[in-house]
């Protein structure tokens, strides 16, 4: 089955700097790659997603890139703010947006 | 936007008892819902796929007789943890896709923190 690896497990950046989180997946049939933000004790919130027919997608300070050949995708957050501090999960699915397999998570801390 | 409601948010039960967790799609119909388990500081692990009107599909290693899933309507799926033990203590989260489309994004419930004493 699908296996998603996420790095780093923790990331600390200065406010205003950029943060990058990377994920690799194993199943070449996967075609949907969302990113979720989860604050402590709360539900994961979808922040951005990308499908396999697109190489890059951007939404304000957040962008995701996908390299299908290498089977990896990355989350980029620019001009980081303290409220960006949370745990971020990448995921992959080969059933559209259904049945997601999650990465291990990255705890992002933005230092003021 | 699409809302998934999950109850209870917290439950404490004694070892050996059963606990039922409800997952409702409030403003859309969900033929499929997913149940995840999340241990502290770990990722979300898919437990099972709940299908309206049919049996749930369980992931490898998940005991179907211990984690009973019922999806009797298009807006409600329930997970019952039977004969709970301390090792079942975890954060359980359901999700459902709005829009009824294969590509509709998943929305998560608020989760249920189960503590078995």
pLDDT digits (tens, 9 = 90+) for B50-64: 888 888 999 999 999
Per-residue pLDDT of chain A (112 residues; tens, 9 = 90+): 889 999 999 999 999 999 999 999 999 999 999 999 999 888 899 999 998 888 999 999 999 999 999 999 999 999 999 999 999 999 999 876 678 899 999 999 999 9
Closest CA to A74 of A85, A58, A94, A87: A58
Closest CA to A4 of A94, A108, A107: A94
Tell me, what's the pLDDT at B63? 94
Tell me, what's the pLDDT at A108? 98
User: Which of B26, B50, B103 should we substitute to test contact with A (largest number of A Cβ atoms within 10 Å)?
Assistant: B103
Residue B8: cis peptide before it, omega within 30 degrees of 0: yes
- What is the Cα–Cα distance from B87 to B74, expressed in whole angstroms? 31
- Residue B100 predicted with pLDDT over 60: no
- Residue B103 predicted with pLDDT over 80: no
* Cβ-based neighbours of B45, under 8 Å, separated by 6 or more: A102, B36, B37, B38, B59
> Would you state the structure tokens that stand for residue B108, as one six-digit string?
């998560």
C-alpha of A15 from chain center: 19
Q: Does A52 touch chain B (CB under 8 A)?
A: no
Closest residue in A to B31 (Cα) is A98
Sign of the torsion angle spanned by Cα atoms A9, A28, B105, B55:
negative
Phi-psi region of B41 (alpha: psi -120 to 50; beta: other; left: phi over 0): left
Q: Which residue in the set A45, A96, A102 is minimally distant from B103, CB to CB?
A: A96
Mean pLDDT of B19-38: 92
- Residue B24 predicted with pLDDT over 90: yes
Residue B21 pairs in a beta bridge with: B79
- Residue B49 predicted with pLDDT over 80: yes
Nearest CA of chain A to the CA of B83: how many Å?
A: 25
């Amino acid at each position: 089955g699908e296996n998603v690896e996420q790095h780093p497990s923790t990331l600390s950046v200065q406010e205003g700097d950029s943060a990058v989180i990377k994920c690799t997946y194993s199943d070449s049939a996967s075609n949907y790659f969302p990113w979720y933000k989860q604050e402590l004790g709360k539900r994961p919130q979808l922040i951005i997603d990308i499908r396999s027919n697109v190489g890059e997608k951007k939404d304000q300070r957040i962008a995701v890139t996908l390299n299908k050949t290498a089977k990896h995708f990355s989350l980029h957050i620019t001009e980081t703010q303290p409220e960006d501090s949370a745990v971020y999960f990448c995921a992959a699915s080969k059933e559209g947006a259904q049945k997601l397999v999650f990465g291990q998570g990255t705890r992002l801390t933005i230092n003021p | 936007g699409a809302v998934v409601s999950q109850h209870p948010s917290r439950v404490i039960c004694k070892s050996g008892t059963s606990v039922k967790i409800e997952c409702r799609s409030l403003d859309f119909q969900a033929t499929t819902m997913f149940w995840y388990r999340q241990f502290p500081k770990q990722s979300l692990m898919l437990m099972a796929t709940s299908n309206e009107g049919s049996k749930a599909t369980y992931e490898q290693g998940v005991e179907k007789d211990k984690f009973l899933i019922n999806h009797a309507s298009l807006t409600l799926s329930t997970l019952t943890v039977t004969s709970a033990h301390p090792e079942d203590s975890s954060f359980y989260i359901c999700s459902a896709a709005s829009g009824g489309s294969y590509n509709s994004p998943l929305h998560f419930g608020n989760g249920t923190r189960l503590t078995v004493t």
